[in-house]
Amino acid sequence: MKPTDIKDPEYFHKVVDCQYACPAHTPVPEYIRLIAAERYDDAYMINWESNVFPGVLGRTCDRPCEPACRRGRVEEEPVAICRLKRVAADNKGDVKNRMPQGPFSSNGKKIALIGGGPASLTVARDLAPLGYEIDLYDEWNKGGGMMRTQIPAFRLPEEVLDEEVNYVLDLGIHTHFNHYVESMKNMLTKDYDAIFVGTGAPKGRDLKLPGRESADAHIHIGIEWLAGVAFEHISKVGKKVIVLGGGNTAMDCCRTSRRIGGQDVRVVVRSPFKDMKASPWEIEDAQREDIPILNNMPPKEFVVENGKLKGVLFGHVRAEYDDNGKRKLIPTGEPDTFIEADDVIIAIGQDNAFPWIEKDIGIDFGKWDIPVVDRDTFQSTLPKVFFGGDAAFGPENVITAVAHGHAAAVSIDLYCQNKNLKDRPDPMTNLISQKMGIHEWMYDSGVVDDLRYAVPHEEKKLSLSDRKIEVELGFDKALGFKEAQRCLNCDVQTVFNTSRCIECDACMDVCPTSCITFTNNGEESDLRSRLMAPANDTSQDLYISDILPTERIMVKDENVCLHCGLCAERCPTAAWDMQQFFYNVTKASSGCLVAE
Amino acid sequence: MSFHKPTFAHPELPINKVGYRKKDYEGVISTLCAGCGHDSISASIVQACYEIDLEPHKLAKMSGIGCSSKTPAYFLSNSHGFNSVHGRMPSVTTGANLANKDLTYLGVSGDGDSASIGMGQFVHVARRNLNMTYILMNNGCYGLTKGQDSATADLGSISKSGSENPFQGIDLVGLALELGASFVARSFSGDKSQLVPLIKAALAHPGFAFIDVISPCVTFNNNKGSTKSYDYVRQHIEATSEFDFVPKEQPIKVEYSEGTGKSVTLFDGSTIYLDKLSNNWDPTDRYSAINRIQEGKKKGEIVTGLLYINPESQELHKLLNTVDTPLNKLTEKDLYPGDGILDRINDTFR
């Protein structure tokens, strides 16, 4: 194999599994260390810079970082990264003075953001400080988009959302709330240099079954119903509620029902329990609130008597998977089951909807009414119109919308300067030695054995009594410190210098997880079979040195390296060094683009 | 700061025949200087014991005083151990072995511990063919007291302070051969591919198995002009053969070239393979081994590998014709069979 090029910013980035898995590439280990150091303001600002909504995401993120966490590969559970983010948000002081301070001198460009959700707000946050004049349009009376309409208050208190939305709006954004944009054609006639569409996936899927029409008064579409509750148009639900669907929206619907009158609330999914799309922790939270989840039961009919909904009739199926893992639901032949219900909430998915974009203005749409958008630049087929968030490629999540927002902001900035959108600035990276002494590093290199700490919850009876009482209490400072210490500091990289190595084997001998091998070079599959420990996870790279004096090479399997620094401590010639790698995603606001 | 090793291990570490991972043969973290050759030897001992499926509680690690003699803390934490007086490891091991021959005895010692204060002990344990493995961690200096030349420092070797050694160095390999040791080898801490099979063979050998391991002292004897530095040893090393050890009941995969290869079957059924033998040398012939070493010395080579093995080795218990039961398991009933028997014995002398 060829020696590893550690100058490629993506090599070490990939070693920081959590950051690499995060769509916005938040520097996770860096902020976790700052939390351990009780530097909550600094930890918050690292997050704010990267993901704009630390308080929101610290409660509601889909956490793609956690399944990626290296800790999950050496013990049972990953670091509670998401809930640590909340520790920073909960304990910070006044951080507003550390954010960009307006008024910003104008660069003469004007842009419109349609939709006030996470994607649009990220674009606004990145572009406002560069001098863009920004108009933001939203049909509701406040900003936040789906974070406000679809996430119930017992998971995300309104004041947390308001605070973080306002940090952005206070950068001098002109808001046009209660303003539903009805025509893109009309928007294009205004003097905007660019238009960003971040209108999400606002159309909840319906279920056309017998009885649907006549029982309409008691059948609700999940996301619309949640928005109705959030804006207090809906304040109660019947005692018996059935929620159809197995995603996170279904979990939010059933738990909201429990708080506004639902006593016998059930979730029914048509496929097996294990195929549910909802995050495991959301399912757990629902079950903790006495909500049974029935599986393998597809609904057949809304049963109506005398014009009133009586309940739902369900069939029974079992799942079979073919060799490609494709699922087929096969009726078992058991008799149908009738479940009584006063209300039924349908939460089986949501779609993009652009009834307000005329089809003859140059914006092309592909399958399922999804616009044709460039994956890298977020530009539509009409050059001045950009899409991001759920509006671009279909429903994802908040952190993905933020990542889209950053990238779209870079594109808009380039577009407004008549530059090539594909010629994008590099990410900012840095590599700094952590050495302070023989056994001393600037980071806490010890590896603690603690298992993952559980987040304390509010007492169930109390939290079910009011939909605005937050269920999770969050880690306090002490528990936050302990959980933060579980982080392995994967951003502190093991950097190897071939010319200094005397091949004493000390690093290989001391490595607690047998990551390092000195051996003869070969092809990757051959090398992987000859290492000190099995190296079967090919998604994890091998770090290869130049040829050493004995004709061997150093091979390090990055897979389960604990970043404990023992290789560097036991190296007599400092051929190994522990160096902190910082990776900052390209952003329009990072100053790498200077307006001419 | 890490003065302790993380407890996490690689999650997919293979398990040997007796149910242990290699990690289970490790010790606490070393406090020797970073890069010390001794740590590589410790790692080789761990590797060898794991590979021959030795249960850790069936081994006793014995040592004296010195950097080398600290190392039993850094390997085999689950084995028995005795850290004895300076240079007295051989007699303590002799006592232990006579009391309980069921254990495997692994002694580690340094050049000060063996070639100076413990020289008399070394000589006698070799000549008695005590069933033990004796690993000499040989760095040619007193690392624990700031690197003075030791008795194994070669004539003319230059110390870190710049002085040239005016004395002849003692070669314990030559001495062991003279004294009738039944397994004599030399190796280098920086060459695990040779050292690990040598340790495996030594542990299986019934009798006194001596391995002189050149183990550079990175702090005091890794300088230019030293004959025990990493660089010097790598430039002058001359392996007598390619070497492999196959425990009994393991499929034999080794192929060696005709005419230049040799296999030696040990008492317990294990086999030693030597390939690409140097010329005019038979590892089962003591005198040819002595010649080979002297020849190498003349050419300035450091001759390594298994130099001599006596396949018919009779270890001390055999020579003394002791009973099969370990002596520490003999009860009063065994040792004092009663007046009647004594009378009977006495009658035979009347």
Cβ neighbour number for residue B261 with a 10 Å cutoff: 16
CA distance B304 to A570: 27
Compute CA distances A82 → A78, A117, A477, B2, whole Å: 11, 20, 15, 28
CA distance A8 to A555: 18
Cβ neighbour number for residue B177 with a 10 Å cutoff: 20
Cβ neighbour number for residue A462 with a 10 Å cutoff: 10
Q: Kindly give the pairing relationship between strand A492-496 and strand A576-584.
A: antiparallel
Whether residues A356 and A346 fall in one domain = no
Q: For position A519, which CATH number holds?
A: 3.30.70.20
pLDDT for residue B281: 82
> How far is C-alpha A521 from the chain's CA centre?
39
Does A438 fall in a domain? no
Spell out the residues 6+ positions from residue B168 whose beta carbon is closer than 8 angstroms to its own: B155
Does A299 fall in a domain? yes
Whether residues A458 and A496 fall in one domain = no
Q: What is the pLDDT of residues A438-454, one digit of tens each?
A: 788 999 999 999 999 99
Mutation site, A440, A445, A504, A519, interface B, largest B CB count within 10 A: A504
Q: Is A144 left (phi over 0), alpha (psi -120 to 50) or beta?
A: left
Query: pLDDT tier at A307 (50, 70, 90 boundaries)?
Result: confident
Give the residue among B181, B185, B197, B195 at the shortest CA–CA distance from B310: B181
| Amino acid making up residue A239 | K
- Where are the alpha helices (H) located in A111-203, listed in sequence order? 118-127, 146-149, 158-169, 184-188
Final residue belonging to a domain, choices A364, A395, A416: A416
**Residue A509: its chain B contacts at CB < 8 A?**
39-40, 42-43
DSSP, collapsed to helix, strand or coil, labels residue B152 as coil
Whether residues A229 and A343 fall in one domain = yes
Q: What is the pLDDT of residues A229-257, one digit of tens each?
A: 999 999 999 999 999 999 999 999 999 99
**Residue A512: its chain B contacts at CB < 8 A?**
5-9
Does A1 fall in a domain? no
Angle separating helix axes A81-91 and A40-51, nearest 10 degrees: 120
Name the residue facing A533 among B2, B10, B39 (closest C-beta).
B10
SS (H, E, C) A442-478: CCCCCCCCCCCCCCCECCHHHHHHCCCCCCECCCCHH
Residues 175-194 of chain B with CB under 8 A from chain A are: 189-190, 192
> How many Cβ pairs closer than 8 A exist between chain A and B?
105
Does A357 fall in a domain? yes
| Beta-carbon separation of A509 and B35 below 8 A | no
- Whether B18 and chain A come into contact, CB under 8 Å, resolves to no
Mutation site, B4, B8, B193, B237, interface A, largest A CB count within 10 A: B8
Q: Are A177 and A267 in contact (CB under 8 A)?
A: no
Q: How many domains does chain A have?
A: 4
Rounded mean pLDDT, A23-38: 97
CA distance B179 to B133: 16
Rounded mean pLDDT, A511-538: 95
Helix (H) or strand (E) holding B39: helix B37-51
ipTM of this predicted complex?
0.89
Token code pair at residue A159: 């004041």
Whether residues A196 and A218 fall in one domain = no
CA distance A499 to A554: 12
pLDDT for residue A592: 44
Burial of A368 (0-12, 13-18, 19+ CB in 10 A): exposed
CA distance A99 to A45: 8
Bridge partners of A441, per DSSP, are: A435
Whether residues A184 and A282 fall in one domain = no
| Amino acid making up residue A549 | P
Q: What is the pLDDT of residues B298-312, one digit of tens each?
A: 988 899 999 999 999
| Beta-carbon separation of A572 and B29 below 8 A | no
Is the backbone peptide bond immediately before A103 cis, with ω within 30 degrees of 0?
A: yes
Residue A163 has pLDDT above 80, yes or no: yes
Token code pair at residue B207: 């009798």
pLDDT for residue A590: 47
Final residue belonging to a domain, choices A416, A431, A466: A416
Q: Kindly identify which residue of chain B lies nearest to residue A575, measuring between CA atoms.
A: B35
The dihedral formed by the CA atoms of A154, A156, A162 and A164, expressed in degrees to the nearest 10 = 160
pLDDT for residue A594: 44
Spell out the residues 6+ positions from residue A331 whose beta carbon is closer than 8 angstroms to its own: A315, A316, A317
Q: Kindly give the pairing relationship between strand A133-137 and strand A174-176.
A: parallel
**Residue B35: its chain A contacts at CB < 8 A?**
502, 504, 506, 570-573
Whether residues A116 and A148 fall in one domain = yes
Final residue belonging to a domain, choices A350, A370, A388: A350
Angle made by CA atoms B254, B256, B260, in degrees to the nearest 5: 150
Rounded mean pLDDT, A22-28: 97
CA distance A123 to A411: 10
Residues 204-223 of chain B with CB under 8 A from chain A are: 216, 218, 222
Whether residues A475 and A512 fall in one domain = no
Q: What is the pLDDT of residues A351-363, one digit of tens each?
A: 988 999 999 999 9
pLDDT for residue B1: 39
Q: Are A8 and A569 in contact (CB under 8 A)?
A: no
Residue B253 has pLDDT above 60, yes or no: no
Rounded mean pLDDT, B44-56: 96
Does A236 fall in a domain? yes
**Residue A534: its chain B contacts at CB < 8 A?**
10, 12-14
**Residue A514: its chain B contacts at CB < 8 A?**
9-10, 13, 22
| Beta-carbon separation of A512 and B9 below 8 A | yes
Does A436 fall in a domain? no
CA distance A277 to A281: 11
CA distance A134 to A389: 18
pLDDT for residue A595: 39
**Minimal CA separation from B16 to chain A, in Å:** 13
Rounded mean pLDDT, A506-524: 95
CA distance A142 to A549: 67
SS (H, E, C) B107-133: EEEEHHHHHCCCHHHHHHHHHHCCCEE
Q: For position B186, which CATH number holds?
A: 3.40.50.970
Query: pLDDT tier at B245 (50, 70, 90 boundaries)?
Result: confident
Spell out the residues 6+ positions from residue A11 whose beta carbon is closer than 8 angstroms to its own: A4, A5, A541
Cβ neighbour number for residue A437 with a 10 Å cutoff: 7
Does B328 fall in a domain? no
| Beta-carbon separation of A534 and B43 below 8 A | no
Residue B69 has pLDDT above 50, yes or no: yes
Cα(first)–Cα(last) distance of chain A, in Å? 45
Q: Which domain holds residue A49?
A: 13-97+449-485
Give the residue among A173, A88, A187 at the shortest CA–CA distance from A135: A173
Whether residues A197 and A212 fall in one domain = no
pLDDT for residue B273: 80
Whether residues A339 and A379 fall in one domain = no
* Residue for token pair 């959980």: A483
CA distance B108 to B213: 10
- Whether B15 and chain A come into contact, CB under 8 Å, resolves to no
Rounded mean pLDDT, A130-138: 96
Query: pLDDT tier at B251 (50, 70, 90 boundaries)?
Result: low
CA distance A14 to A25: 10
Whether residues A513 and A554 fall in one domain = yes
CA distance B151 to B306: 23
Angle separating helix axes A28-36 and A40-51, nearest 10 degrees: 160
Q: Are A330 and A318 in contact (CB under 8 A)?
A: yes
Name the residue facing B1 among A446, A449, A533 (closest C-beta).
A446
Q: Which domain holds residue B194?
A: 22-241+274-316
Q: How many domains does chain B have?
A: 1
Q: Kindly give the pairing relationship between strand A350-351 and strand A203-204.
A: antiparallel
**Residue B194: its chain A contacts at CB < 8 A?**
none
| Beta-carbon separation of B7 and A449 below 8 A | yes
**Residue B10: its chain A contacts at CB < 8 A?**
513-515, 533-534, 560
Q: For position A139, which CATH number holds?
A: 3.50.50.60
Q: What is the pLDDT of residues B260-284, one digit of tens each?
A: 677 788 777 788 887 767 777 888 9
Q: Are B131 and B202 in contact (CB under 8 A)?
A: no
CA distance B350 to B348: 6
Q: What is the pLDDT of residues B76-116, one digit of tens each?
A: 999 999 999 999 999 999 999 999 999 999 999 999 999 99
Dmax (CA) for chain B in angstroms is 77
Does A125 fall in a domain? yes
Mutation site, B4, B12, B32, B160, interface A, largest A CB count within 10 A: B12
Q: Kindly identify which residue of chain B lies nearest to residue A517, measuring between CA atoms.
A: B192
Q: Phi/psi of residue A307, each to 5°?
A: 75, 10
Query: pLDDT tier at A320 (50, 70, 90 boundaries)?
Result: very high
Whether residues A210 and A294 fall in one domain = yes
| Percentage above 70 pLDDT, chain B | 95
